[in-house]
């Protein structure tokens, strides 16, 4: 278990989340976790940040998958002892123009963006 402070950013592999991870790596005195659903994209983002001289850690986390949330929670409790800073950035936005999918898209957006935040980490 580490004595360093720990920051976690959900949905950290691109966009605002990636920028938050980069900013935390620059200014936060502790360990920074970049999390996202897709392991390849997450590892690619971590590697880009490492090429810039930062040292974020990666862990797969899909906030809509209870088993993924539990795996991450268990990892954080075991390895880090907990979290000091949690940035719930993960979210989705559909770009489809199909009117047939609006109900499905709306439900998926609400489930992810409003109810998918991992509160039990």
For the domain 5-114, what is the CATH code? 3.40.50.720
74/70 Cα distance (integer angstroms) = 6
From the centroid of its chain, how far is CA 102? Answer: 26
Strands 57-60 and 5-9, sheet pairing: unpaired
- Tens of pLDDT, residues 36-51: 999 999 999 999 999 9
pTM (2 decimals)? 0.83
Domain ranges of the chain: 5-114
Which positions ≥6 away from 26 have C-beta within 8 Å?
54
Place of tokens 């592999």: 13
Residues of the chain short of pLDDT 70, as ranges, are 1-2, 92, 94, 96-100, 102-103, 108-109, 112-121
In this prediction, residue 89 carries a pLDDT of 85
């Amino acid at each position: 278990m580490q004595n360093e402070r720990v920051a976690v950013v959900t949905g950290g592999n691109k966009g605002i989340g990636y920028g938050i991870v980069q900013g935390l790596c620059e200014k936060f005195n502790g360990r920074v976790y970049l999390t996202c659903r897709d392991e390849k994209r997450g590892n690619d983002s971590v590697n880009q940040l490492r090429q810039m001289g930062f040292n974020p850690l990666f862990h797969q986390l899909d906030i809509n998958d209870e088993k993924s949330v539990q795996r991450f929670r268990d990892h954080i409790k075991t390895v880090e002892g907990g979290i000091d800073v949690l940035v719930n950035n993960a979210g989705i936005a559909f770009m489809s123009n199909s009117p047939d999918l609006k109900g499905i898209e709306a439900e998926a957006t609400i489930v992810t963006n409003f109810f998918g935040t991992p509160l039990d980490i």
